[in-house]
Copies of this chain bind each other. A is one copy, B any other.
């Protein structure tokens, strides 16, 4: 046993949320410089039936806070999905980072064996042990949304690269 449940969650979310904030800052600066309407980026989608950039960022934050809270055994904070600007997305990312960094690492101990219930009370309810929940559900979902946000910005011509995606490690 080499990794704590905290090791494989909060610091990973922190790294990628910081890089997400960074690429969004670069996207905002690019839009200002080129006189691009911010919504031209914020409302971009890879496909008409996929979520736009703004929602990808919201959901990335939701997985970071949801997974961290559930593993720590605390209530998941509820954020309204009202962001419409780059500044508001930055505030959501900052709030999410503040929340997850404020969790006590010791609260994650034992979470590998505690059950987490997905979509409780719905026909799609699913019970997973904490280990499965983190590595087979939470991390793939989180990375899906941060990568899709990055891909949208690359597709939209924002001058960023893989190094920006990876952030500080």
Number of copies of this protein chain within its complex: 2
**Interface residues of A, count at CB 8 A:** 44
Closest approach, in angstroms, between the C-beta of A81 and any C-beta of chain B? 18
Rounded to whole angstroms, the CA-CA distance of A15 and B137 in the bound complex is 10
B8 touches A3 (CB 8 A): yes
Closest approach, in angstroms, between the C-beta of A76 and any C-beta of chain B? 20
Q: Mark A1-30, 1 if CB is under 8 A from B, else 0.
A: 111110110011001100000000000000
Q: Which residues of A contact B (CB under 8 A)?
A: 1-5, 7-8, 11-12, 15-16, 46-47, 50, 108-113, 128, 130-132, 134-137, 139-141, 143-144, 147-148, 150-151, 154-155, 157, 162, 165-166, 169
CB-CB nearest 7 A-B residue pairs: A143-B143, A1-B1, A2-B112, A136-B169, A147-B147, A3-B3, A47-B154
